[in-house]
Chain A
Amino acid sequence: MRTWTDLDDFQDFLDAGGMVEADDDMPEEYRSEVFRFIEFHANSELMGGLTERDWIPHAPGLRLKQIFLAKTQDEIGHAHLLYMVAADMAVKTRDEMIDDLLAGKSRFHNVFHYRAETWADQIAIAFLVDAAAFASQRAVFAKCTYGPYKRILRRIVGEEGFHMRHGEEMLLKMASGSQVQRDLFQAALERWWWPAVQLFGPDSPPDDPLLKWYVKSERNEVLRHAYVQKYVPLLHGYGFTVPDDGLHQDAESGEWIMSKIDWAPLKATLSNSGPDSERRLANAVRNHAESAWFRESIGVSA
């Protein structure tokens, strides 16, 4: 077990490319921040699975049903791995993390406070949300100083990249399909564009400890900007309209400039007051309670 004399000593270790392991005597500030970040990630994977499950029974084909099952299984699998990594940090057990999630005491990504209204929302999630999550997670994986998290992220990023490509394939079918399909996706785009952009969060604070400790490798605004530059032309290319009246391309740089982001919807999700927060959590709480007898009988965690 490694120890450090103080935060400066620990920072020198990280600046030199050091990697922290679960059994290190890491500073409590680092343990607390990294744990909170991983718990948030785990919660988001789990709640993302619940967002996607709503449309699996209606998948328009048996192979598509298998594919979306496998995708959602990946998300639940990510949650499973992340809860184990988080639990090893000895801040909370897995049961405590899930209890806190269901009690509304911990958070998950803004996008999973929204409801998938149609099958096209399922595709918008795969194309837009998974891509945003992929960009965000890849940026964490790049330098992440917490070893157990970095090793898990290698797998997660790989699978999310596959989901993203599958989303693009599904979108291509919608874009080249009937007017019904194009209209369906355009409506979904109007619901999911801003939540996907907001997933990156507001601009990173100058003293963001996760950047200082190399858990995150890039600032939120930089990732968000890169995402917009990539996805606006892609969506235009598929014949869809990005729902931003102020969106324009800078004549000199060629960069896409968005309207000012309204952060109120994101803030609402932070207090579980998003459009579908109440239903999503209530369903999760009910399902969890209804199967408590079984977990107790075989002595397992949730």
Chain B
Amino acid sequence: MSHPSLMSPGVQEFVLAFADDEHFVGSHLAWWIGVAPFLEEDLSLCSIAQDELGHAIALYELLTDDVDQFALRRDAAEYRSCSFAEVAMPKWEDTLVRHWLYDIAEDIRWNALVDSTADGVPAVAQRALSEERFHRTHSTLLLQRSLTGSSDAKDRLVSAMELLLPQSMTMWSPVAGEAEAVATGVTAMTSAKAADMYVDAVRADLGSWNVSLSWEPQTAPEGDRLDRVDGFGEFQASLNLVLDLDPNAEW
């Protein structure tokens, strides 16, 4: 892979972690096209999926000249995504809850990059934040309406929250390059500080919806971004199904 930027390897790893998260969350959201619960939601979620993929592309472009090769064809060990972004969620309640949690985290992560010292990062962050406002509104309004709409929906969504909240902390699992990214002003905060903000924001939403959970946030697990979830090989093979037919072809 080529690296057109002058970023150090540590800073590249920090940017890569965010790019890979965006890539996989965007790809998982894209799965819902045509099968979201209703037509308007199909259109909304599809736009959000395109936005997330666009964020991934914009970040990958800071790291490489060949986005597709880099995004799709690295060895599994070279990805820096968190397990929360990697895992497939074919149940709507899980997808909606991840959408809510991931976008809270995205808002914090992008805001920490708006004054980044890394070339190109502030512009990407500004653009992403303008889109994330819609994403946050979308997920919170849907959750709010559904949680109060029926007891069945509330049971499903609360179960999904209890399942996913602990795993969501993997978004704050730092990469080795984070210390350098913080020290050089590439990002305005550590993952640990961002995780605190995240927990506060999640609790504020839960409080506004009168949802009480038995969630006790744990520190983000070390090394999560160095491991891949079960099924990642299958997922990556699926992403590469066409490229594998002729890896040298231009599609």
Tell me whether B152 and A297 are in contact (CB under 8 A): yes
A58-B239, A76-B39 as given contacts; A69 in contact with B50, CB under 8 Å:
yes
How far apart sit A211 and B249, CA to CA, in the bound complex (Å)?
47
Q: Mark B234-251, 1 if CB is under 8 A from A, else 0.
A: 000011111101101111
Q: Which residues of A pack against B, CB within 8 Å?
A: 46, 49-50, 52-53, 55-66, 69-70, 72-73, 76-77, 79-80, 83, 119, 173, 177-178, 180-181, 184, 283-284, 287, 290-291, 293-302
Find residues 86-116 in chain B having any chain A CB closer than 8 Å to their own CB: 91-93, 96
Tally A-B pairs: CB < 8 A: 148
Asked whether A296 lies within 8 Å of B30 as measured between CB atoms, the reply is no
Contact flag A295-B37 (CB < 8 Å), given A62-B53, A180-B246: yes
The answer on a CB contact under 8 Å between B156 and A76 is no
Among B123-131, B142-150, B168-176, B192-200, the stretch in contact with A: B142-150
Q: Can you name 21 A-B residue pairings with CB atoms under 8 Å?
A: A55-B242, A56-B33, A62-B23, A64-B251, A65-B30, A65-B53, A69-B46, A76-B43, A76-B46, A80-B39, A173-B251, A177-B250, A180-B246, A181-B249, A291-B92, A293-B150, A293-B156, A296-B149, A297-B150, A298-B145, A301-B39
B37 touches A291 (CB 8 A): yes
Partner of A300, one of B40, B72, B240: B40
B146 near A72 with CB under 8 A, answer: no
Q: Which residue of A lies closest to B90 (CB)?
A: A290
Please state if B38 and A49 are interface contacts (CB–CB under 8 Å).
Answer: no
- The answer to whether A291 and B36 have CB atoms under 8 Å apart is yes
Most buried by A among B239, B243, B250, B251: B251
Query: Quick one: closest A residue to B93, CB to CB?
Result: A294
Proximity string of chain B (133-160) to chain A, C-beta cutoff 8 Å, 1 when within and 0 when not = 0000000001001100110110010000
Q: Are B153 and A294 in contact (CB under 8 A)?
A: yes
**Closest Cβ–Cβ distance, residue A282 to chain B (whole Å):** 13
The answer for the CA separation of A195 and B35 in the assembled complex, in Å, is 25
Known pairs A60-B251, A76-B39, A298-B146; A293 contacts B46 (CB<8 A): no
Tell me the count of chain B residues lying within 8 A, CB to CB, of chain A: 51
Whole-angstrom distance between the Cβ of A115 and the nearest chain B Cβ: 14
Residue of A nearest to B49 (CB): A69
Is B67 part of the contact surface with A, judged by Cβ < 8 Å?
A: yes
Are B150's CB and A290's CB within 8 A?
A: no
Task: Determine the distance from Cα of A135 to Cα of B145 in the docked complex, in whole angstroms.
Answer: 42
**B38, B46, B249: which contacts A73 (Cβ < 8 A)?**
B46
Q: Which residues of A contact B60 (CB under 8 A)?
A: 62
Query: Quick one: closest B residue to A42, CB to CB?
Result: B39
Beyond the given A66-B53, A69-B49, A119-B242, please list 20 additional residue pairs across the A-B interface where CB-CB is below 8 A. A53-B33, A57-B31, A58-B240, A60-B242, A63-B68, A65-B53, A66-B50, A66-B54, A72-B46, A173-B251, A177-B250, A180-B245, A290-B91, A293-B150, A296-B149, A297-B153, A298-B146, A299-B149, A301-B39, A302-B39
Q: Is there contact, CB below 8 Å, between B42 and A76?
A: yes
